[in-house]
């Protein structure tokens, strides 16, 4: 039989229906045990969205569109992930704390953690089952999606960084008068920034002015060089000789820059070494006053700074455009799309920052963390503003998506997760974990056992179906075998569940004697080791 067949590896419909149906039933049952309904529902939706994003990022026929959508969906996925976990913690925290007594803290923590794990498990299960329908979890696709999320995060991260830096600088400068470390930092900042943008009037500042002039001239020269001015002028005999004019301007700017760069240290030496009086004595009065006026003018400084920025921006933009036109449209779309998506996300976040921050604050105030809100959150909000804070939240959430994607990629790249069965394995693992943690809540025993057996059935039906699809294709009639196989697995699971109930009844009788439970555990471990040996053999 050909193991290198190129048939599509999609699993047959019966297996797929088993995977999706069992997962859906168990997720509904398990989420019923979680008190934080809304967060749980958001978690389920996030699982579906994450699978959809993965599919979109590998959409070959509409690569650019798929990348844009995956990039824009990164925000709902990130927010959903945060809300599912954070929301569960917050809503249960409000419910369970403060604990009535010291002894009540441990059970409360266990309940809280169990519910969070049930939500995470269900999210993973929904993601895995959804991904398994199209077989979208593979190294290449996950890598591509990771790249999209990282590039999407770049813009909000940069904007958040700029806003944060501005807020920090403003805050520290405003604190120059207050004692302590803030005063020191504020003074240092004032000392660095004031001579550049707001010099002391009535004296010369030739050195710093020359440096600024050199920077602005060099940047402008580079910008003019980069612009395709001569290409834009028609090649007719009566057209103006633009080339020569541009070359002259460029040369002048470059020489101005070099000259200013040479003047700066010399002037600095003179200014520091001789002092203002000697300098005034050396130079004619008119010239000295002119130099004082020019070099100390804040407006001129600001103009030079802006010219420097414009030159740099033009150079970078033209370089980027030149690279862009050399690439194919699809490639450009794919590469640019995440940045555009990131830009859209940043704008959207800035637009809804106020209400969002209010909502977060209200939610947090309802939890036992209310004093911390008062102590930390409100002052931060006062200093940095709601936009920066919301952007920071979003960036952290996007980083969490990047981290999840990265972990998935590592698991796939190291073959801990096989590409072919990754979706069903994740679904089964999620269901198994959720069922195990649901056992510690007030979940009926049948649901826990059904969850554990169902998780195995999901994995078995999925991996069996995938192998079947790989070997005989979806065009062949396979339903009978699939049903027989799944029936066998369910039957064995039934035997396992009966054994569990029997063992559990024995354990319940001996629950008063704790060491006996430990002995039972040891016996089970022994059986596990023996089975391991048998399986390896």
Partner 1 sequence: MHRRVRRWSGGLAAALFLVSVSLLTAEPLLLAATAIPLIYVAYGALLRLPAGTDLQAARTVSDAQPTPGEPVAVELTLTNTGRSSLTDVRVIDGVPEELAVVEGSPRLCTSLRPDESATLSYAVMAKRGTYTFDAAAVRVRTLSASDEVTVDLTVAGDGTVTCSNTVSEVPMADATLPRAGTLPTDTGGSGLEFHSTRSYQPGDPVNRIDWRRYAKTDELTTIDYREEQAVRTVLVVDARPPARVTPEPGFPTGAELSAYAAERLFDALSRTSVVASVCAVGLAPEDVPGGLGPDGLAWVDASGGHAAAHARQIFDSVGRAAARQSDTDAAGDAGASEDAPPHQSRSEAARVTTADGGTIEDPALLAVLARLPPTAQVVVFSPAADDWPVSLVSSLAVRDYPTTLVSPSLARGDSLGAAVASTERVARLQRAELSGATVIDWDLDSPIDVALRASLADLFSV
Which residues lie near partner 1 (CB under 8 A)? 1-2, 110, 114, 432-433, 436-437, 439-440, 445, 448-449, 452-453, 456, 459, 463-464, 467-468, 471-473, 475-478, 480-481, 484-485, 488-489, 492-493, 495-497, 499-501, 503-504, 506-508, 511, 517, 520-521, 524-525, 527-528, 531-532, 534-537
Residue 179 sits at φ, ψ, to 5 deg, of -75, 170
Minimum CB distance to partner 1, residue 330 (Å): 18
Minimum CB distance to partner 1, residue 403 (Å): 22
For partner 1, give the closer residue by CB, 248 or 499.
499
Q: CB of 501 within 8 A of CB of 445? A: yes
First CA to last CA across the chain, in angstroms?
25
Which stretches does DSSP call E strand in 146-303? none
For partner 1, give the closer residue by CB, 351 or 532.
532
For partner 1, give the closer residue by CB, 363 or 516.
516
Minimum CB distance to partner 1, residue 184 (Å): 48
DSSP 318-360: HHHHHHHHHS-HHHHHHHHHHHHHHHHHHHHHHHTHHHHHHHH
Q: What is the DSSP letter of 11?
A: P
Minimum CB distance to partner 1, residue 495 (Å): 6
Minimum CB distance to partner 1, residue 509 (Å): 11
For partner 1, give the closer residue by CB, 208 or 431.
431
| CA–CA distance, 81 with 291 (Å, rounded to integer) | 60
For partner 1, give the closer residue by CB, 338 or 493.
493
Minimum CB distance to partner 1, residue 223 (Å): 42
Burial class (CB in 10 A: 0-12, 13-18, 19+), 165: exposed
The residue behind tokens 């934080």 is: 36
Minimum CB distance to partner 1, residue 13 (Å): 13
Minimum CB distance to partner 1, residue 525 (Å): 7
| CA–CA distance, 44 with 112 (Å, rounded to integer) | 19
For partner 1, give the closer residue by CB, 103 or 536.
536
Write out the two tokens for 419. Answer: 């590409």
Task: Mention every residue, 6+ apart, whose C-beta is less than 8 A from residue 96.
Answer: 108, 111, 112
Task: Mention every residue, 6+ apart, whose C-beta is less than 8 A from residue 504.
Answer: 445
Write out the two tokens for 153. Answer: 């995060």
Q: What does the buried/exposed string (b/e) look like for 419-458 if buried means 16 or more CB atoms within 10 Å of the residue's CB?
A: bbbbbbbbbbbbbbbbbbbbebbebeeebbbbbbbbbbbb
Minimum CB distance to partner 1, residue 362 (Å): 33
**Chain-centroid distance, C-alpha 249:** 45
| CA–CA distance, 430 with 407 (Å, rounded to integer) | 15
């Amino acid at each position: 039989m050909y193991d290198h067949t190129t048939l599509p590896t999609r699993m047959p419909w019966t297996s797929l229906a088993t995977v999706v149906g069992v997962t859906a039933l168990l997720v509904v049952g398990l989420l019923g045990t979680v008190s934080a309904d809304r967060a749980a529902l958001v978690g389920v939706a996030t699982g579906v969205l994450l699978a959809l994003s993965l599919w979109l990022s590998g959409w070959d026929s509409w690569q650019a569109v798929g990348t844009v959508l995956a990039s824009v969906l990164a925000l709902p996925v990130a927010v959903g992930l945060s809300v599912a976990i954070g929301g569960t913690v917050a809503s249960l925290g409000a419910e369970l704390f403060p604990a009535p007594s010291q002894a009540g803290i441990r059970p409360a923590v266990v309940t809280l953690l169990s519910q969070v794990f049930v939500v995470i498990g269900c999210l993973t299960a929904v993601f895995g089952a959804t991904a398994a329908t199209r077989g979208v979890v593979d190294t290449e696709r996950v890598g591509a999606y990771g790249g999209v999320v990282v590039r999407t995060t770049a813009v909000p991260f940069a904007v958040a960084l700029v806003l944060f830096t501005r807020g920090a600088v403003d805050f520290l400068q405003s604190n120059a008068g207050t004692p302590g470390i803030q005063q020191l930092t504020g003074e240092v900042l004032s000392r660095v920034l004031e001579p550049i943008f707001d010099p002391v009037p009535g004296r010369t500042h030739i050195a710093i002015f020359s440096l600024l002039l050199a920077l602005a001239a060099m940047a402008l020269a580079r910008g003019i060089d980069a612009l395709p001015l001569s290409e834009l002028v028609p090649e007719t005999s009566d057209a103006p000789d633009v080339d020569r004019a541009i070359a002259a301007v460029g040369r002048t700017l470059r020489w101005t820059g070099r000259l200013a760069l040479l003047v700066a240290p010399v002037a600095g030496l003179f200014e520091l070494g001789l002092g203002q009086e000697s300098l005034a004595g050396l130079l004619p009065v008119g010239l000295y006053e002119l130099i004082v006026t020019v070099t100390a003018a804040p407006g001129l400084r600001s103009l030079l700074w802006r010219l420097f920025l414009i030159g740099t921006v033009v150079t970078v933009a033209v370089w980027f455009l030149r690279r862009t036109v050399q690439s194919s449209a699809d490639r450009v779309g794919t590469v640019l799309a995440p940045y555009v998506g990131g830009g859209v996300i940043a704008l959207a976040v800035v637009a809804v920052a106020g209400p969002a921050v209010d909502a977060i604050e209200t939610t947090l105030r309802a939890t036992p963390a209310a004093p911390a809100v008062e102590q930390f959150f409100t002052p931060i909000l006062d200093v940095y503003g709601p936009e920066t804070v919301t952007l920071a939240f979003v960036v952290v959430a996007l980083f969490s998506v990047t981290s999840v994607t990265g972990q998935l990629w590592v698991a796939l790249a190291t073959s801990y997760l096989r590409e072919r069965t990754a979706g069903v394995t994740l679904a089964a693992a999620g269901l198994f974990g959720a069922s195990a943690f649901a056992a510690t809540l007030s979940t009926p025993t049948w649901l826990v056992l059904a969850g554990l057996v169902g998780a195995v059935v999901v994995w078995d039906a999925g991996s069996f179906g995938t192998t079947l699809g790989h070997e005989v294709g979806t065009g062949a009639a396979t339903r009978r075998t699939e049903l027989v196989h799944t029936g066998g697995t369910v039957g064995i699971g039934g035997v396992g569940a009966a054994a569990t109930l029997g063992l559990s009844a024995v354990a319940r009788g001996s629950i008063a004697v704790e060491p006996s439970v430990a002995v039972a555990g040891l016996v089970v471990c022994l059986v596990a080791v023996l089975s391991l040996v048998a399986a390896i053999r």
